[in-house]
Amino acid sequence: MYDVAREAGVSQTTVTHVLTGKRPVSAATKERVWDAITRLDFHPNEMARALRRQRSHSVALVLPNIVHALAPVFARHAGVRLREHGFQVTIHETDGDPETAASIVGALASWPVDGAIFSGFALGPDSAEALHRRQIPFVNCGVDDEEVRPWPVVRLDQGEGMRQVLEVLAERTAGAIAYVGGPAGAPGADIRRRAYEREMARLGRPVDERLIASVAYDWRAGRQAARSLLGTGLPFGAVACANDLIAIGVCAELRGRGIAIPDDVAVTGFDNIEPDAMVEPTLTSVETHMDRIAQEGVDLLLAAMGGQEDLAANVLVQPQLVRRASA
């Protein structure tokens, strides 16, 4: 910039103001400065700028693992929206480990981002406090429980999703409705399971513990779960699954045994991932609207970075049943 100023025969101050427009500059000078800028191929150093202005125009996106089914979708929507507002996005993965998450929060103190979005896991209270202490605005998206927290949270109304699922399944069958949940303690597992029990009660359907399985969130585990459900010898007319991968596994196993879906047994998933439309039969699932969650999260963050203090908003995004062939 020093060179630009010299080349244009003005002070650095003037160059700055040509760049930022924060002060009127005569057309002639402006012209000469722009000329020098293009001639020297000058680009302002954002790092120095950030240091001086105490704003880096960058936000950290912290999530368990970018490979998880919905993570890229979230990252995409959040990223686009943030970039629209002139923010750069840095990405951090916790690997689902709270300790790693905490250390990332610690590192955030060194890399002065203007804000942070935590997605796909619940922030620990100590981390939240640390961020607060360092005045780093943040939001916590995709939290998989119902706890109310004293910081901004955007979550999906999982109970409502389960309600819609069970409504459809109850229509489909008068028989028992089994449930295959995620592993206890895993994100979303507990809340979805409780929602299942609650909604079953509301529908006046009995819950039989023997028809409830808890397995890993993947496809093989789904097959396995179907086997053990069938192994009980108990009849059932539907299976609600906590996750699409599980549901696809369940379908595969059932079909392998000659059980017709949805006529003999109806099956539902949850999350509405891409393969749902490609498997046979296509899978009825629940759209979790990652786009809206990301949008709400970013909007909240932008507001917080804009100076609005202490808004501990609790946004609840409504899911939507996507009805396909399996139920």
User: From the list 2, 26, 27, 41, which residue makes contact with a copy of itself (rule: CB under 8 A)?
Assistant: 41
List the alpha helices (DSSP H) in the chain.
2-8, 12-20, 27-40, 46-53, 71-84, 98-110, 125-133, 158-172, 189-202, 219-231, 244-256, 290-305
Contact of residue 2 among DNA, a copy of itself, none (CB under 5-8 Å per partner type): DNA
Contact status: 295 vs a copy of itself (CB under 8 A): no
Contact of residue 277 among a copy of itself, DNA, none (CB under 5-8 Å per partner type): a copy of itself
User: From the list 38, 51, 114, 134, which residue makes contact with DNA (rule: CB under 7 A)?
Assistant: 51
User: From the list 45, 228, 232, 314, which residue makes contact with DNA (rule: CB under 7 A)?
Assistant: 45
Q: Report the distance separating Cα 73 and Cα 82, nearest Å.
A: 14
- Residues 106-117 as b or e (16 or more Cβ within 10 Å = b): eebeeeebbbbb
Q: Which of 223, 260, 258, 217 is nearest to 238 (CA)?
A: 260
Interface stretch with DNA, choices 9-17, 88-96, 168-176, 292-300 (CB under 7 A): 9-17
What mask of x and - would describe binding to DNA in positions 217 to 256, judged by CB under 7 A?
----------------------------------------
Number of residues that bind a copy of itself (CB under 8 A): 45
225 near 215, Cβ under 8 Å?
A: yes
Q: How far is the CB of 61 from DNA (least distance, A)?
A: 24
Contact status: 178 vs a copy of itself (CB under 8 A): no
29 versus 295: smaller Cβ distance to DNA: 29
Contacts of 289 (CB under 8 A, 6+ apart): 156, 317, 318, 319, 320
Interface stretch with a copy of itself, choices 24-32, 60-68, 205-213, 224-232 (CB under 8 A): 60-68
Peptide bond into 262 cis (omega under 30): yes
Contact of residue 16 among DNA, a copy of itself, none (CB under 5-8 Å per partner type): DNA
Q: How far is the CB of 44 from a copy of itself (least distance, A)?
A: 6
CA 184 to each of CA 63, 217, 283: distance values in angstroms, whole numbers, following the listed order: 20, 11, 24
311 near 300, Cβ under 8 Å?
A: yes
Contact status: 22 vs a copy of itself (CB under 8 A): no
H or E element at residue 155: strand 153-156
Contacts of 159 (CB under 8 A, 6+ apart): 146, 191, 195, 198, 199
Interface stretch with a copy of itself, choices 189-197, 224-232, 272-280, 292-300 (CB under 8 A): 272-280
Q: Report the distance separating Cα 301 and Cα 119, nearest Å.
A: 13
Contact of residue 306 among DNA, a copy of itself, none (CB under 5-8 Å per partner type): none
Q: Report the distance separating Cα 210 and Cα 321, nearest Å.
A: 27
Question: How many beta carbons lie within 10 A of that of residue 26, not counting itself?
Answer: 9
> What is the DSSP code (8-state) at residue 275?
G
Q: Which positions touch a copy of itself (CB under 8 A)?
A: 41, 43-48, 50-51, 56, 58, 61, 65-67, 71-73, 75-76, 79-80, 88-91, 93, 106, 109-112, 133, 219, 245, 248-249, 252, 255, 274-275, 277-280
Q: Which positions touch DNA (CB under 7 A)?
A: 1-2, 9-14, 16-17, 19-20, 22-26, 28-30, 42-45, 48-49, 51-54
